[in-house]
């Protein structure tokens, strides 16, 4: 099991701090519908595009009952899919006629300071396209009852887990020392700092943040590494807002308008924060609009046919010729 982080989640990616589990679920569903639906992400391990579709996977992932850590990780889904390692393929357990095979991916995500292993499932349809299906959390955040916690299915258990997760969001920002375990050295976030400044720096040394989802969906939307800020919480919030604004889609005219409004609101929030306003009194960060959240999913982009590289001696069946589905350690 590799400890390489595919993404890091701070709990602020959904725009506002969720009040309870139901609120979080609503936020995640709205985010998925407005920001993820219709996009495609290329998995680096397999070089195959994976389509994100509301009806065929995102709705299931954001349905009530989903683990809080999965809902919080949803904005990082493109990055997770892009950086996930391939586990294997197998027959569809549900035996759907339009599903040729099911493929499993594994990715490690840091949810507010706690690394969690997630399994991502994508289904290969009849046309050979991979479509994201669901996310499974391997390690629930709720402690077992014998450890002083409540069972995952107990009453209020998910809200309790959410509060436990969000409580960590108020911890002081961790300082990173030494090498990054995220493996995002080439496009990782750069931490604005009060030191290490030099006047003769070349333009190449300027901070370049992580790559949000591009039009062709080749990279993840959420940041791989969050900026490490020292000191001012307003600056920390401002840079979090910048990450959110950068990750907004930029396709339609309305989305561009929202993106521009997001940049403005980030400044407004920073000014209000630094003027001493309480966090809950800050103006909201506009990241979506009722006008852009279309009730119908967008038309799917035309994807190239899926051609699985088959290692020599492995035959032609079985997708990538790796482990069969039953060998994937899904409990």
Partner 1 sequence: MKLRMTGIGRVVATRELRLSRRTKVTVEIGKPRKFRGSPDYFCPIRIRGMGDDFLSRTGGVDAIQALEFALVYLGSKLYYSDEAKAGKLTWDYGEVDGDLGLPLMEVAKKDVLPEKVSHIYLYRPNPPRPKAKRKSKK
Interface contacts to partner 1, rule CB under 8 A: 175-178, 187-188, 190-203, 205-209, 211-212, 214, 219, 228, 235, 238-239, 242, 245-246, 250, 256, 259-261, 263-268, 270-272, 274-277, 283
Q: Give every CB contact of residue 226 below 8 A, 6+ residues apart in sequence.
A: 8, 10, 189, 240, 243
Smallest separation, CB 175 to partner 1 (Å)? 8
Structure tokens belonging to residue 204: 């190449």
Residues sharing a CB contact under 8 Å with residue 203, sequence separation 6 or more, in sequence order: none
Cβ atoms of 27 and 14 closer than 8 Å: yes
State the minimum distance, in angstroms, from the CB of residue 287 to partner 1. 14
Task: Provide, rounded to whole angstroms, the least separation between the CB of residue 292 and partner 1.
Answer: 16
CA distance 193 to 209: 14
Nearer CB in complex with partner 1: 104/223: 223
**In 3-state terms, what secondary structure has residue 200?**
coil
CB of 248 to partner 1, least distance (A): 9
Minimum CB distance to partner 1, residue 11 (Å) = 21
Q: How far apart are CA 101 and CA 40, in angstroms?
A: 19
At closest approach, how far in Å is the CB of 268 from partner 1?
Answer: 5
| Residue closer to partner 1 (CB basis): 12 or 123 | 12
The residues, any chain, with a CB within 8 Å of residue 132's CB and separated by 6 or more, are 50, 51, 52, 53, 56, 57, 58, 61, 77, 81, 120, 121, 122
Smallest distance, partner 1 to C-beta of residue 243, A: 10
What does R_g of the chain's alpha carbons equal in angstroms? 20
- b or e along 101-137 (b: 16 or more beta carbons within 10 Å of the residue's beta carbon)? bbbbbbbbbbbbeeebebbbbbbbbeeebbbbbbbbb
CB of 267 to partner 1, least distance (A): 5
Compare residues 220 and 318 and give the one whose CB is closer to partner 1.
220
Q: Which is nearer to partner 1, 167 or 201 (CB)?
A: 201
Nearer to partner 1, 5 or 322 (CB): 5
Q: What CA–CA distance (Å, rounded) separates 20 from 22?
A: 6
What is the spatial distance between Cα 290 and Cα 136, in angstroms, rounded to a whole number? Answer: 30
Residue 131 vs 285, nearer CB to partner 1: 285
Q: What angle do CA 313, 316, 319 make, to 5 degrees?
A: 110
Looking at beta carbons only, is 70 or 242 nearer to partner 1?
Answer: 242
Shortest Å, Cβ 255 to partner 1: 11
Nearer Cβ to partner 1, position 43 or 102? Answer: 43
Residue 47 token pair: 């070089």
Give the number of other CB atoms < 10 A from CB of residue 236. Answer: 21
């Amino acid at each position: 099991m590799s400890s390489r982080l595919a993404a890091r989640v701070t709990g602020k990616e959904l725009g506002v701090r969720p009040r309870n589990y139901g609120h979080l679920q609503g936020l995640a569903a709205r985010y998925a519908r407005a920001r993820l639906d219709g996009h495609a992400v290329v998995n680096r391990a397999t070089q195959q595009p994976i389509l994100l579709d509301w009806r065929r996977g995102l709705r299931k992932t954001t349905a009530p009952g989903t683990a809080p850590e999965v809902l919080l990780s949803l904005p990082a889904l493109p990055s997770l899919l892009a950086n996930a390692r391939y586990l294997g393929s197998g027959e569809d357990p549900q035996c759907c006629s339009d599903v040729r095979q099911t493929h499993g991916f594994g990715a490690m995500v840091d949810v507010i300071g706690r690394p969690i292993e997630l399994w991502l499932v994508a289904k290969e349809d009849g046309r050979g396209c991979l479509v994201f299906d669901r996310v499974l959390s391997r390690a629930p955040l709720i402690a077992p009852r014998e450890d002083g916690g409540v069972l995952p299915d107990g009453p209020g258990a998910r809200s309790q887990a959410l509060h436990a997760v969000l409580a960590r969001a108020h911890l002081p920002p961790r300082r990173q020392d030494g090498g990054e375990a995220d493996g995002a050295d080439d496009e990782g976030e750069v931490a604005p700092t009060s030191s290490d400044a030099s006047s003769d720096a070349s333009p190449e040394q300027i901070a370049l943040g992580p790559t949000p989802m591009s039009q062709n969906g080749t990279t993840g939307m959420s940041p791989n590494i969050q900026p490490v800020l020292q000191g001012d919480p307003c600056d920390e919030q401002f840079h979090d807002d910048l990450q959110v604004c950068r990750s907004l889609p930029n396709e339609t005219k309305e989305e561009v308008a929202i993106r521009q409004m997001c940049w403005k609101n980030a400044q407004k929030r920073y000014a209000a924060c630094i003027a001493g306003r309480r966090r809950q009194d800050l103006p909201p960060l506009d990241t979506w609009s009722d006008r852009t959240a279309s009730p119908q999913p967008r038309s799917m982009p035309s994807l190239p046919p899926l051609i699985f590289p088959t290692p020599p001696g492995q035959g032609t069946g079985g997708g990538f010729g790796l482990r069969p589905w039953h060998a994937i350690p899904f409990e």
